């Protein structure tokens, strides 16, 4: 099994590229966004960006810390990099892709466990658009099998598989016209978002599942700064 894999990596983060290059399984056909020209660095957003990109009115009065502040430049860069990956997948007619962020770590026996999951979905004729391999669940999931769930509201874009049809569904929303953080967007496309304004803008049209437990984890305990959070707010 050779899986087309996109690793979200900024040209200036050669340290992260070096680390993940030493741990990534050999069966993955790895492509770095920094090599393909798909990256958008939040620290260096194009001057004319907002001639082509619109922002959703994200900041609201809320007890939720992530909702009561403006978007950050890093969040915009992350969102656009994922968007460019989806466009590349559709343009190149890639049927199945894995998208990873460069600060992840893999579970033991990742390749074997992933193959079991994919075989199970295929053997049971489960149609899917997106498969989370890692995420941070924030609401109750619905079990399909003991190791596969229908995800509730979740955070995380650091490890997911997506089909060509799934990528088309994401592009059909015209996400670039009304950007929200990428993990909130994916979650809104998978299940009803807890914010009514987001739910009105983005409907859960993806057939989405998630592995349980996760096969990939965010390297959040690293001393590296988050490229998303280590950036200025858009006011």
Rounded to two decimals, what is the model's pTM?
Answer: 0.95
CB contact set of 173 (below 8 Å; sequence gap of 6+):
189, 202
The Cα angle at residue 105 between residues 99 and 108, in degrees rounded to 5 = 110
Q: How far apart are CA 219 and CA 129, in angstroms?
A: 26
What are the structural domain ranges in the chain? 3-218
Measured between alpha carbons, how far is residue 181 from residues 17, 72, 89, 100, 176 in Å?
Answer: 23, 9, 20, 16, 11
Residue 75: burial class (beta carbons within 10 Å; 0-12, 13-18, 19+): buried
Q: How far apart are CA 217 and CA 123, in angstroms?
A: 27
The kind and range of the H/E element at 132 are strand 130-132
Class of domain 3-218: alpha beta
Q: pLDDT per position in the chain (235 positions), as tens?
A: 689 999 999 999 999 999 999 999 999 999 999 999 999 999 889 888 888 899 999 999 999 999 999 999 999 999 999 999 999 999 999 999 999 999 999 999 999 999 999 999 999 999 999 999 999 999 999 999 999 999 999 999 999 999 999 999 999 999 999 999 999 999 999 999 999 999 999 999 999 999 999 999 997 544 456 777 777 888 7
Q: What are phi and psi of 106, to 5 degrees?
A: -100, 145
């Amino acid at each position: 099994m050779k899986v087309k894999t996109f690793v979200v990596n900024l040209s200036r983060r050669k340290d992260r590229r070096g680390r993940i290059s030493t741990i990534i399984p050999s069966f993955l056909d790895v492509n770095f966004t920094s090599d393909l020209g798909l990256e958008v660095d939040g620290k260096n957003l194009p001057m004319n960006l907002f001639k082509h990109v619109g922002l959703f009115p994200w900041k609201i009065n809320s007890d939720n810390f992530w909702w009561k502040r403006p978007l950050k430049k890093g969040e915009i860069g992350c969102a656009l990099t994922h968007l460019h990956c989806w466009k590349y997948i559709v343009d190149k007619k890639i049927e199945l892709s894995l998208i990873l962020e460069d600060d992840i770590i893999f579970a033991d026996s990742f390749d074997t466990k992933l193959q079991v999951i994919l075989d199970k979905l295929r053997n049971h004729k489960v149609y899917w658009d997106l498969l989370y391999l890692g995420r941070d669940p924030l609401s109750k999931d619905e079990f399909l099998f003991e190791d596969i769930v229908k995800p509730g509201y979740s955070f995380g874009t650091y490890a997911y598989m997506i089909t060509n049809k799934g990528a088309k569904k994401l592009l059909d929303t015209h996400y670039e016209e009304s950007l929200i953080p990428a993990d909130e967007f994916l979650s809104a496309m998978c299940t009803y978002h807890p914010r009514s304004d987001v739910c009105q803008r983005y409907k859960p049209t993806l057939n989405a599942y998630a592995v349980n437990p996760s096969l990939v984890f965010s390297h959040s305990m690293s001393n590296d700064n988050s490229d998303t959070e280590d950036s200025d707010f858009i006011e």
